Amino acid sequence: MNVEELRRNFPDEASCRAFFESVIWPNGPVCPHCHGKKAWAFRSPKVRAGLYECADCSKQFTVTTKSAFHGTKLSLWIWLQAMYSLIFSSKGASSVFMAQWLGISQKSAWKMLHALRTIMAIHQSALPKLQGIVELDEKYLGGKPRYQPGVKHKRGRGTKKACIAVAVQRQGPVRATLVTGDSLSVLQPLIQKIVSTEAHLMSDELPAYRVIGQDFAAHETVRHGQKEFVRGPVHNNTAESYNALLERAKQGVYHWMSKRHLPLYTSEAAFRWNQRVPVTRTIQRGKHRGKVRTTMKPLPLLEQFKNLLRFAPACQIRRTKNSGIRHLPAAIPLFGL
């Protein structure tokens, strides 16, 4: 979908609001104050658009009240465009770019993007356990140490860089989480939580994986130390692809991701990754003619918007006095989170 088609789908603010309401409230309005399901809409032009009054507690609300969009003064059309840009780009979008593109302040754009990334983090945590072949890897993210003549700095493991544990289902979703290190005590409970015990694990030779693998149906390793990266179907290159995306987002767009907000950036890259589905096709021409290939194709953009928006009420975001953001638990508990 290009920008023109986006505008055709959402010609005015009322159509954007109708879309938000249909995704967030598929069965009609739900009061975020008391969870009541009966509410009246105000139709008067004097009242702000989309305002409802709860029949049970008499409090007023809109589709954004007590959600990730709580208290926003920006139009929903601006939010949709921000979602479009964040989802459509391969590496993300910076708040500086977003501010210039949408004609808002950089601070507003930063808060907006973090609200969207928070929803993406919730989307990731609501994914079912990974199944089938699951590749494990770790990614170290951080800046290069200052150049010192004659000193060769260590890379990755054993440095002060942030460690991200990555688990990818082959031709399926990814889960990526910031962890305090790559020790067994850190990785084992995490992998048990996100990967099904029926899964076939594939990893590098990190000693922790050898122990972790014992709890799963099968576990194979590639010996990166001996320059072995693929042994038939045994590799963790899919996980490395996710790592590369994250690295490119850092190098090319964000330049700096604070450890504090890193879980949001990993979730953003994971959301884009997880909006693709495997598509199998038979090659028609060339020397590979007749072979069956499976590639990952992104879902239609409207579907991706829906996948994001339906998690918007699963968190509340408020501004702080020093222009930051504060996360509050969901007003209405959703999806068992």
Q: Cα torsion at 75, 80, 81, 86 (round to 10°)?
A: 130
Q: Are 98 and 79 in contact (CB under 8 A)?
A: no
Distance of CA 148 to the CA centre of its chain: 37
Question: How does strand 316-319 pair with strand 292-298?
Answer: unpaired
**Does residue 38 bind Zn ion (CB under 5 A)?**
no
Cα distances (angstroms) measured from residue 238 to each of 30, 61, 133, 167, 242? 41, 44, 11, 9, 7
Residue 120 interacting with Zn ion (CB under 5 A): no
Query: In the range 44-73, which residues lie near Zn ion by CB under 5 A?
Result: 54, 56-57
Q: Give the nearest distance from C-beta 328 to Zn ion in angstroms.
A: 18
Nearest alpha-carbon partner for 212 in 235, 325, 204: 204
CB of 334 to Zn ion, least distance (A): 17
Please pick, from the candidates 31, 76, 119, 120, the single residue that binds Zn ion as defined by CB under 5 A: 31
**Interface segment toward Zn ion; rule CB under 5 A; list 30-38, 181-189, 207-215, 298-306:** 30-38
Binding region for Zn ion (CB under 5 A) out of 28-36, 86-94, 166-174, 284-292 = 28-36
Cβ 64 to Zn ion shortest distance, Å: 16
Q: Is 317 in the site for Zn ion (CB under 5 A)?
A: no
Q: Does 276 bind Zn ion (CB under 5 A)?
A: no
CB of 57 or CB of 126, closer to Zn ion = 57
CA distance from start to end of the chain: 32
Smallest gap from Cβ 70 to Zn ion, in A, equals 16
Which C-beta is closer to Zn ion: that of 5 or that of 56?
A: 56
- In whole angstroms, the minimum distance from the beta carbon of 79 to Zn ion comes to 24
**Cβ closest to Zn ion, residue 269 vs residue 330:** 330
Q: Smallest distance, Å, CB 82 to Zn ion? A: 29
Distance from C-alpha of 101 to C-alpha of 113, rounded to nearest angstrom = 13
Q: Determine if 36 is a binding residue for Zn ion (CB under 5 A).
A: yes
* Interface pick for Zn ion out of 18, 25, 33, 126 (rule CB under 5 A): 33
Full DSSP string of 214-225: GGSSEEEE--GG
Q: 114, 110, 89: which is closest to 98 by C-alpha? A: 110
Number of residues that bind Zn ion (CB under 5 A): 7
Q: With respect to Zn ion, which residue has the nearer C-beta, 32 or 172?
A: 32
Q: Which pair of structure tokens corresponds to residue 176?
A: 């990526």
Q: Minimum distance between the CB of residue 21 and Zn ion, rounded to whole angstroms? A: 16
Q: Pick the binder of Zn ion from 1, 34, 253, 325 (CB under 5 A).
A: 34
> In terms of C-beta density within 10 A (0-12 exposed, 13-18 middle, 19 or more buried), how is residue 122 classed?
buried
Tokens of 133: 């072949």
Query: Footprint of Zn ion on this chain (CB under 5 A)?
Result: 31, 33-34, 36, 54, 56-57
